[in-house]
Amino acid sequence: MPSNRAVAYKGPGKVEVIDIDYPTFELKDGPGVNPANVGRKLPHAAIIRTIATNICGSDQHMVRGRTTAPVDLVLGHEITGEVVEVGPGVEFVKVGDIVSVPFNIACGRCRNCKSGKTGICLNVNPDRPGSAYGYVDMGGWVGGQANYVLVPYADWNALVFPDRDRALEKILDLALLSDIFPTGFHGAVTAGVEVGSTVYIAGAGPVGLAAAAGAQLLGAAVVIVGDLNDERLAQARSFGCETVNVGEGAVPDQLEQLLGVPEVDAAVDAVGFEARGHGHGAKAEEAPATVLNSIFDITAAGGAVGIPGLYVTGDPGGVDEAARRGSLSLSLGTAWAKSLSFTTGQCPVMRYNRQLSQAILHDRVQIAKAVNATAIPLEDAPQGYAEFDAGAATKYVLDPNGYLGV
């Protein structure tokens, strides 16, 4: 049986690479596994040898201790790999296939999956609709920051790249199809971005940069990215975005300097619940409703807001009791008065990943360059987490099995 090393959460601020069991076609008990899922038979699953598995900002929320994640939870929901085994119920995915695995696990059978809402599948998480690999309160499916990982409902979930050689040539770009590229693109789509749009994206982390690249792909006239981190803002400028440092003045004033008006057609929140204060003299202290209220202010009447940034129902590190319950003080009156619409929740990756893979393979977008994707060995994951947490303008891609040559 091949050995299997994986990245595990070891408490606030700490991850370690540990030995775990090789996957089997049954969901075993373990950290974070919902008791109702223990013993679940998985004849429809495939075992994947991981080619690339990425560190995500959502993982960082757990590692910072900002969720109720249990110690020893195996992390990782952004998975690209090679199929090495299939269960007896798998008909179409074959051993040797190179596949992208959507971060949301979906059965393909429930009413939500059948209507394309794969982020809120009804059958994979006994606690609530929606599931993901290696994530708190998502059913307990083992994470993919490992040498090997099990992918349930493989015929439904796995996106197969038919040309192996071509896929491996573009693998660093294709590795971003499991989450951040579709998630950022979903933020732009749900914000109503179209040809000629002016767009503001809050957050220059990887999802924000992916949203910016997605907005450009959709034909936006101007994409403006806001953040407090100058290195990340420079990364946004590297592929043609305008930028504002939200610590250097009011966002509407900075937009007016760029556009002639203090508003945009569409806005995206790529920050989430760990947002910080804005404006001249504002302390960069946590203020979880800041981004949402800011983009309600600067989105034109009748516009839309995409919210791929993560918000949670339980935050032990919240700034007050309300924030610890995920209850924020939003200016809903502003949004109502302006007839704004907004979309929240997990991105339904399968709605976009095939189309975005074609954009990558046919050189319509260079998403790895846009987010500064950088491959590192699995054993360097703790250092990657630390550097990302410190604000590095880098999307770290782990290389557990040497496919990426690091």
Domain with CATH 3.90.180.10 in the chain: 5-179+348-399
**pLDDT digit string (tens) for 4-20?**
999 999 999 999 999 99
Tokens in use for 399? 């290389």
Mean of the pLDDT values across residues 384-392? 95
- The 10s digit of each residue's pLDDT in 53-102 is 999 999 998 999 989 899 999 999 999 999 999 999 999 999 999 999 99
Predicted local confidence at residue 280, as pLDDT? 60
pLDDT digits (tens, 9 = 90+) for 22-38: 999 999 999 999 999 99
Range 2-18 burial, b when 16+ CB lie within 10 A, else e: eebbbbbbeeeeebebe
* Residue 318 pLDDT: 82
d(CA 10, CA 264): 42
**Three-state secondary structure string covering 69-85:** CCCCCECCCCEEEEEEE
What is the C-alpha to C-alpha distance for residues 340 and 12, in angstroms, rounded to an integer?
37
What pLDDT score does 319 carry? Answer: 81
> Which homologous superfamily does the CATH classification assign to the domain defined by 5-179+348-399?
Medium-chain alcohol dehydrogenases, catalytic domain (3.90.180.10)
The CATH H-level (homologous superfamily) assignment of domain 181-343 is NAD(P)-binding Rossmann-like Domain (3.40.50.720)
Q: Where in the chain is the domain with CATH 3.40.50.720?
A: 181-343
Quote the CA–CA distance of 215 and 195 in Å, as a whole number. Answer: 9
pTM of the model: 0.95
Distance CA 101, CA 104 (A): 8
